[in-house]
Structure formats: structure tokens, C-alpha cells
């Protein structure tokens, strides 16, 4: 299993190095080299829906922002400084109310590959839920930034 994980990480890095950077609203992609030791990304699937969760640390954040193949890019942040948060429970349902994806303790960046259609997104952190509707057209990427105003 460890060799599979290493080959996935190596493959992701090979792909990342050949890609041009993608812009994300809340972060700037740097042309500086990415240290593979700081990246622990593992593409996953649930109910036939591919997703990728991560972005903890600068290297992993820059690496995930360069990955292609996902049409919904979500970022989770909190407070006046817009700090990334990795502890979000995420639920995506189709417009008929059927669960498409249900993830626990993910983030701060989550990429999902959804079929065309409209979806309800609910992201919950510390008992507070942020909701949004996304319309996934046949082509293009949708950015969804969900923010909590934590009161300290």
C-alpha cells in the first residue's frame, strides 16, 4: 500500500510539474519549486464522484491549485484574516435532495468532478453551516469560497 501511495504522489508531482499554474481567487500560485515531502494529496472517489482534499501547508496548497480535471474548486476559510480551515464537513446533493458526496473533516481546499447539473452544497464547521447552490455547466470551472466569521 505504501508503494502505491508513493507512486500516486510521484505521478501527481510529475503531472504537476508539466502543468501551467491555475489561478484561485484566494491564493497566488508561485513558480517556486514544490517540495514533494510537504504534499500528501490522494485522489479519491465516493459514489463515482472523484474528489481531492488538501492544501495544508504552502507546498500542498500550491500543488493542489495546479491539479486539473476537477470542475468545482472549493476553499474554506475563517476570520478576518481568511485563514484556511481543514475541519469542514461537506455535503453535496443534487436538486432532488439525493446525496452525491458526503465528506468529514476535509479542506481547506476540496476539488470535485461533478456531472453537469445543479447542486446544493452545505459545508459545516463548528456547528455553523454555509450553503450554496452551484450550477455545473458542461464545461468550465466553478470556484466556491465558503467563509466563517469566527468570533474570538
Number of H helices and number of E strands within the chain? 2, 10
Q: What is the pLDDT of residues 70-111, one digit of tens each?
A: 999 999 999 999 999 999 999 999 999 999 999 999 999 999
What per-residue confidence (pLDDT) applies to 59?
A: 82
The residues with which 142 forms a beta bridge, in sequence order, are 72
Residue 38's pLDDT band (boundaries 50, 70, 90)?
A: low
Which domains occur in the chain, in start order?
2-148 (2.60.40.10)
Q: How far apart are CA 114 and CA 38, in angstroms?
A: 28
What per-residue confidence (pLDDT) applies to 66?
A: 86
What's the pTM value of the predicted model, to 2 decimals? 0.76
Q: What is the pLDDT of residues 16-33, one digit of tens each?
A: 333 323 333 334 445 677
What per-residue confidence (pLDDT) applies to 47?
A: 94
Q: Please give the distance of CA 148 from its chain centroid, rounded to a whole number.
A: 17
- Average pLDDT across the chain, whole number: 80
Q: What is the pLDDT of residues 48-58, one digit of tens each?
A: 999 999 888 88
Amino acid at each position: 500500500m505504501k508503494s502505491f501511495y508513493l507512486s500516486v504522489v510521484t505521478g501527481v508531482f510529475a503531472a504537476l510539474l508539466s502543468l501551467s499554474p491555475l489561478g484561485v481567487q484566494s491564493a497566488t500560485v508561485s513558480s517556486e519549486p514544490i517540495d514533494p515531502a510537504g504534499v500528501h494529496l490522494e485522489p479519491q472517489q465516493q459514489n463515482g464522484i472523484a474528489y481531492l482534499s488538501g492544501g495544508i501547508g504552502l507546498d500542498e496548497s500550491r500543488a493542489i491549485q495546479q491539479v486539473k480535471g476537477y470542475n468545482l474548486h472549493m476553499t474554506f476559510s475563517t476570520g478576518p484574516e481568511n485563514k484556511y480551515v481543514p475541519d469542514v464537513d461537506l455535503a453535496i446533493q443534487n436538486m432532488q435532495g439525493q446525496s452525491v458526496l458526503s465528506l468529514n473533516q476535509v479542506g481547506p481546499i476540496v476539488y470535485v468532478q461533478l456531472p453537469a447539473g445543479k447542486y446544493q452544497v452545505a459545508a459545516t464547521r463548528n456547528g455553523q453551516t454555509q450553503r450554496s447552490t452551484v450550477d455545473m455547466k458542461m464545461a468550465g470551472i466553478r470556484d466556491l469560497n465558503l467563509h466563517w466569521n469566527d468570533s474570538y
